């Protein structure tokens, strides 16, 4: 009986490790299922077309009266915002948390669509027909990587 108790005592840390990992797997299973569903979902028709040509960018990015809100019942993050960024210039966005800095970058990159106003690249409107071409040639480094 003593040998059995001693053996069980030595196995206990390993059993606790197995149980902890099993609980971790179960807790992450729901998230993994969401990711798998997203990967298995059919792509929209725009993704079945050949890659778009580059969007010309020789002069400036312009935000004209751009407004944005995440939900219709929320206050706007940006309202009638105007900005011109000339090619080759360096721009920094400074402001309090929630003031729209990251949202502005996401709008410029075409990750979000404005709820009002337009974004133009060299006078060409950034919309469903030009967004993919623009996204192939723009990138940004987030503040925390």
Q: Which two tokens stand for residue 145?
A: 């990587």
Fold of 60-135: Rossmann fold (3.40.50)
| Burial class of residue 132 in the structure, from the number of CB atoms within 10 Å of its CB (0-12 exposed, 13-18 middle, 19+ buried) | middle
pLDDT for res 17: 92
**Average pLDDT in the 41-60 region?**
81
Count H helices, E strands: the chain?
3, 4
For all residues of the chain together, what is the average pLDDT? 88
* Bigger pLDDT: 32 vs 64: 64
Domains of the chain by residue range? 2-41, 60-135
Tokens of 100: 């729209």
- Separation between Cα atoms, residue 103 and residue 118, nearest integer Å: 15
**pTM, 2 dp:** 0.66
Phi, psi of 141 (to 5 degrees): -100, 120
Q: If you write DSSP's letter for every residue of 75-119 in order, what string do you get?
A: --SEEEEEEEEETT--------TTSSHHHHHHHHTTSS--SEEEE
């Amino acid at each position: 009986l003593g040998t059995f108790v001693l053996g069980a005592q030595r196995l206990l840390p390993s059993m606790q490790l197995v149980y902890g990992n099993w609980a971790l797997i179960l807790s992450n299973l729901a998230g993994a299922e969401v990711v798998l569903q997203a990967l298995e979902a059919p792509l929209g028709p725009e993704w079945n077309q050949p890659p778009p040509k580059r969007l010309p960018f020789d002069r400036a990015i312009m935000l004209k009266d751009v407004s944005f809100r995440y939900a219709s019942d929320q206050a706007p993050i940006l309202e009638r915002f105007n900005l011109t960024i000339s090619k080759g210039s360096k721009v920094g966005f400074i402001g309090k948390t929630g003031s729209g800095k990251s949202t502005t970058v996401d709008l410029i990159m075409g990750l979000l669509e404005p709820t009002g106003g337009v974004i133009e690249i060299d006078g060409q409107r950034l919309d469903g027909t030009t967004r993919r071409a623009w996204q192939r040639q723009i990138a940004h480094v987030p503040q925390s990587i």
